[in-house]
Amino acid sequence: MSERRVVVTGAAGVCGLGNDWAQVGEGLRRGRSGIAPWPPLDTVEGMRTRLGGAVDEPPLPADAPRKKLRGMGRVSRLATWAVGEAIAASGLEQSLLSGGRTGLAFGSTSGSPPDMVTFALAYGAERRQKGITPMNYVKLMSHTCAANLAQYFEVRGTVLATTSACTSGSQAIGSGYEQIRFGRQEVMVCGGAEELHEIEVGVFDMMFATSTRNEAPTETPRPFDVDRDGLVVAEGAGALVLESLDHARERGAPILGELLGYATNCDGAHLTAPDPAGMEAAMCAGLADAGISADRVDYVCAHATATEAGDVAESHAMARAYGGHTPVSSLKGHLGHSLGACGALEAWMTLEMMREGWVAPTHNLERVDPACAQLDYVMGGPREAALEIAVSNNSAFGGINTSLVFGRFES
């Protein structure tokens, strides 16, 4: 089977810096922070952190049919908004969405947490079924985003749900890439979303992985910094429209960039502790899939969440995979860690920076931890750079790693 080139024809997202590239790009350039005190955490006994990266939920179209919305929790609504914007940017018509040659791959860490709580209380603590509806389950099921998106946009091709924690969004993009590359679909709508909730924050807080700079929210998280004290959980959604090059050309679609390669693997070592060897293997496999050498990479968007062990492990993996000359930054200093959404959001932002020719710094990085590898850390302000090849990497609990390799489009 011949392999096909895969291009990006639409992209969009919503995060703590805004809901379009003009807002987000300006925020990255000017060092704005999407982190603030999040009041719901104040009511949880024992919660150490009080910070979150909440977003203002953009409204869905006023004429959206109720039957298409009733099974959506917040995570699905954020996903639907981002996908709608990406589809509009790509110029995809409804006939293409519903024609069977367009598929969808979308992920989140879980379903909508409030409905998980409602379900658990009803059946677990209160032993009742009264008041629970099938829609509660639809909102909490692990593939709620993919299922709701497919119904809302009437997608009739392949539908894939990726639920791999912090690699959910990037695995969705990679899965979509493979569907097109090997001829199974012409178009794939891909991405990830996450909904901020006490459950999501609590998982990391009980592991002492969250930042407790509660009085200085804009000064945290601090990826790679010697004074980092943990991550900040955030929410949002990102979406890319992927398309075979031939199909995109045939319909005159805008081409934002090319997805040259993708890899995903597992450390196979520990459920929560990072393994630099596994990370390095994924990075090298991504380059091999793209057919390029490490010295051609112009920028790496790191996963770096600002945990003590994670940043060190990833830095050494990058040093071995790419060498020490490649500019590296983490966008989580601006955005926080949006879990299942981060891979899609960071892929979108990496693509946009490549198109415009600059690299965002790691916000709040002032002094690199000596335990981290010696790399070209972008810090202090944005850096103008001609980017031909840019990589976006992510890692997740379970030892899951992903690497997406993007290229400036050349016919």
Mean pLDDT of 248-272: 97
pLDDT of 48-105, one tens digit each?
999 999 999 999 999 999 999 999 999 999 999 999 999 999 999 999 999 999 999 9
Round the average pLDDT of the chain to a whole number and report it: 98
Domain range summary for the chain, segments of one domain joined by +: 6-407
pLDDT for position 332 = 99
Contact between 239 and 191 under an 8 Å Cβ cutoff? The reply is yes
Q: How far apart are the first and last CA of the chain?
A: 22
pLDDT-derived band at 369, boundaries 50, 70, 90: very high
Beta bridge partners of 394: 402
- What is the DSSP code (8-state) at residue 141? S
Q: How far apart are CA 126 and CA 117, in angstroms?
A: 12
Mean pLDDT of 162-181: 98
Question: What residues contact 343, with CB distance under 8 A and at least 6 apart?
Answer: 166, 167, 168, 169, 170, 171, 172, 173, 192, 238, 392, 394, 402, 404
Lowest mean pLDDT among 170-179, 212-221, 267-276: 267-276
Q: How far apart are CA 377 and CA 370, in angstroms?
A: 13
pLDDT for position 411 = 72
Question: What residues contact 37, with CB distance under 8 A and at least 6 apart?
Answer: 50, 51, 52, 214, 217
> pLDDT at residue 181 above 90?
yes
Catalytic residue positions, numbered? 166, 303, 337
Beta bridge partners of 377: 328
H-state helical runs in 131-273: 134-140, 144-153, 168-181, 198-205, 245-250
Fold of 6-407: Peroxisomal Thiolase; Chain A, domain 1 (3.40.47)
pLDDT-derived band at 315, boundaries 50, 70, 90: very high
Mean pLDDT of 118-140: 94
